[in-house]
Amino acid sequence: MLRISNRRRVIAVQGPQKLNLPGIKRIIAVASGKGGVGKSTVSANLALALSAEGHSVGLLDADIYGPSQGLMMGVAAGTKPEIAGDFLQPVIAHNLQIMSMSFVTNDRTPAVWRGPMASGALTQLLTQTYWQNVDYLIVDMPPGTGDIQLTMAQQVPLTGALIVTTPQDIALLDARKGVEMFRKVEVPLLGIVENMSTHTCSQCGFEEAVFGAGGGDVIAAEYDLKLLARLPLAMEIRQQSDGGQPPVVSAPEGAIGQVFRALARSMVEVVEGLQQQSGPRFTVLDD
């Protein structure tokens, strides 16, 4: 467990368990029903795309058991956040404010924790990081619908959630579980992102739907949601992300970078539409 005291002013809103976090305007959960669908890659590039669109952006790596955002953002192994008073200063990379469990633990030490311990660690990372004037905090959620997801949904005033899936039928089964969980806890669903839609052969240019076609459209229609983006299965996404220079940074004018920029704009449009309908769910408080 983290051992940093929590003296920052955190005010309960919308019931005793909802937290209002000073310095953050909107919190977006990027989730999936299963692992291996590219949720962390989408989270990283969405955060970078929002920043490129002119927003102040934070990125919270909430995958306690398998944090990866430090690697994808090119943060040097062993980097530790500075401590200012009672709070962790977010690590800055590519103009993002980033916090991850990998920054406060050894990258070779597994988090052998039961659900409540992992949820508590995540809550501490969220509330004890000194987020500064963040327009959008992107939360890279762990896969599944367990304790950590419920903690985020029940205690944190999420603006909304994105569901990442592949077109594969088995991925859609788990994506539905993610949609149903957020609906039950009354977190707005902002839309569906279909990852690994097609693959284009680098040798001959043939485009193939490796994991099937139309799955994102099916689940979006089933739940009356917007399909926000179709992302390709591409070697450069893997190479650039592994190298700490995701496509939005390494090739901002390229086709993949532009798809992520369009995703960011579409998501912002949905968020602004929800806020016009119901008003802001919470406000930024000065410490």
**287 occurs within a structural domain:** no
**10 occurs within a structural domain:** no
Residue that has been written with the tokens 């305007």 in this structure: 25
Residue that has been written with the tokens 């990081």 in this structure: 129
**282 occurs within a structural domain:** no
Q: Quick one: which of 208, 224, 148, 160 has its CA closest to 186? A: 160
Cα separation of 286 and 277, whole Å?
Answer: 26
- For residues 170 and 196, the answer to whether their CB atoms sit within 8 Å is no
- For residues 161 and 145, the answer to whether their CB atoms sit within 8 Å is no
Range of the domain at 243: 22-277
Q: How many structural domains compose the chain?
A: 1
Cα separation of 261 and 257, whole Å?
Answer: 6
Amino acid at 280: P
Residue that has been written with the tokens 């977190």 in this structure: 187
Q: Quick one: which of 261, 235, 240 has its CA closest to 250? A: 240
The beta strands (E) that lie in the chain are given as 11-12, 19-20, 24-31, 57-61, 83-84, 87-88, 91-93, 96-100, 134-140, 160-165, 189-194, 199-200, 207-208, 227-230
**115 occurs within a structural domain:** yes
Quickly count: other Cβ atoms within 10 Å of residue 80's Cβ: 10
Residue 163 confidence (pLDDT): 95
**237 occurs within a structural domain:** yes
pTM attached to this predicted model: 0.87
Residue 53 confidence (pLDDT): 97
Residue 84 confidence (pLDDT): 84
Backbone angles phi, psi at 56, to 5 degrees: -85, 125
Q: Tens of pLDDT along the chain (287 residues)?
A: 454 444 444 433 344 457 778 899 999 999 987 778 889 999 999 999 999 999 999 999 988 777 889 999 999 988 889 998 889 999 999 999 999 988 877 666 555 566 667 777 788 889 899 999 999 999 999 887 777 788 888 888 899 999 999 888 888 888 899 999 999 889 999 999 999 886 677 777 767 666 667 888 899 999 999 999 999 888 888 889 888 999 999 999 999 999 999 999 999 999 999 888 765 444 444 44
Which CATH number characterizes residue 158's domain?
A: 3.40.50.300
**34 occurs within a structural domain:** yes
What CA–CA distances, in Å, run from 258 to 98, 109, 128, 214, 264? 23, 37, 34, 21, 10
**119 occurs within a structural domain:** yes
**17 occurs within a structural domain:** no
